[in-house]
Amino acid sequence: MNIREIAKKAEVSTATVSRVLNNSENVSSTTREKVLKVLKEYRFEMDPWAKHLASKRNITHVLIMVSRRILGSLDLKSKEFYSIVIKGIQTAANMNRSVTEIVEMETNLDEEKLKNVDGVLLVGGDTTAEHVRFFKKIGIPVVLVDQYIPTVKVDCVVSNGYDGASYAVKYLISQRFKKIVHIHGFLNHFGFKDRYNGYVATMEQNNLLPKSYEYNDEVMEDMKPLIDKMLNVYGVPEAIFASNDPIAMKVIETLSSFHIKVPEDVSVIGFDGIEKGKHFTPPLSTLKVPMHEMGSLALKRLIDIVYNQDIYPVRISLFTEFIKRGSSI
């Protein structure tokens, strides 16, 4: 059942049916009723593909919001985590008639700007419930990228840190390691917490004692005190699983200043799979998250929400892939 058939049944033109479907102003109430009746009678459901194709002319305006901290480190030529995520967003935007604009999350948006924004992508772990509520209140659809807030029902795209971490730990255990330490960033960031949970659960499932240290990843300060403390209290671990690649590389650097060799003395595994790790010495073993895909999935989900009125929010989590390189046995 398509709109031509409906038009015939209702004895009007397709244009009128379309107008009714889109709540256009210029339809007399009598014809509207008539069309609505036929629509209901035949249980008409619009073909989203056709709708979207035909709506080519109204392109979707998407705001990409990034916290200042991340925006600063953002270089669209680089292959850092968020640079690639955003490239993924833009790639998908090209294929979905959308234009994107990157804005600092801390900015106060004026109404003018918001007027022709169809949807917002909030990127990164700094996104809070407040940000989400702001857009919800004014009725603009939102998708979080690389962030999850359990207490707010809102769409998001994240990596599956729990199972990724679990995989890393299991792998290390399969290499006969038992003293496996986790060095992580702030646990109020969902991503770190998720990986942390996966680490702890898997250690416990294998009757091993989890041991973890928190490191301020935001400023990337000196890691020596932390490692020093670890060595004194816990001794030299057999393996270290780090929250992400930057931390993992910092760990390796710091260990070397203690004359501890990677991977001979300690195996190190990171998380993210950024390009830099590939060219590090030694090349970093890691759990690669499909960053590009993360971005494009988020954009596609946003489009789905805007056009197809998908009203139930979902969490989309991407599987990670273990990449074994030189930093681990």
Contacts to DNA by CB under 7 A: 2-4, 11-19, 21-22, 25-28, 30-32, 44, 46-47, 50-51, 53-58
Q: Rounded to the nearest 5°, which phi and psi values hold at 39?
A: -55, -45
Look up residue 77 and give its amino acid: K
Among 262, 192, 278, 188, which residue's Cα sits nearest to residue 227? 262
Determine if 50 is a binding residue for its own copies (CB under 8 A): yes
CA 122, CA 104: separation in Å to the nearest integer? 10
When binding is defined by CB under 8 A, the residue of 25, 26, 40, 45 that contacts its own copies is 45
Which residues fall within 8 angstroms of residue 47, CB to CB, at 6 or more apart? 2
Task: Name which of 6, 77, 83, 67 is nearest 39 in CA terms.
Answer: 6
- Residues numbered 72 to 101 that lie near its own copies (CB under 8 A) are 91, 94-96
Q: How far is the CB of 87 from its own copies (least distance, A)?
A: 13
Q: Which does 14 bind (CB under 5 to 8 A by kind): DNA, its own copies, none?
A: DNA
Other beta carbons within 10 angstroms of residue 327's beta carbon come to 26
The radius of gyration computed from the CA coordinates of the chain, to the nearest angstrom, equals: 25
237 preceded by a cis bond (ω within 30 of 0)? no
Cβ nearer to its own copies, comparing 163 with 275: 163
150 near its own copies, rule: CB under 8 A? yes
Q: Which of residues 157-176 bind its own copies (CB under 8 A)?
A: 160, 163, 166
| Minimum distance, C-beta of residue 201 to its own copies, in the bound complex (Å) | 9
Q: Give the nearer residue to DNA in terms of CB position, either 12 or 63.
A: 12
| Residues making contact with its own copies (CB under 8 A) | 45-50, 52-53, 91, 94-96, 150, 153, 160, 163, 166, 290, 293, 297, 300, 304, 310, 312-319
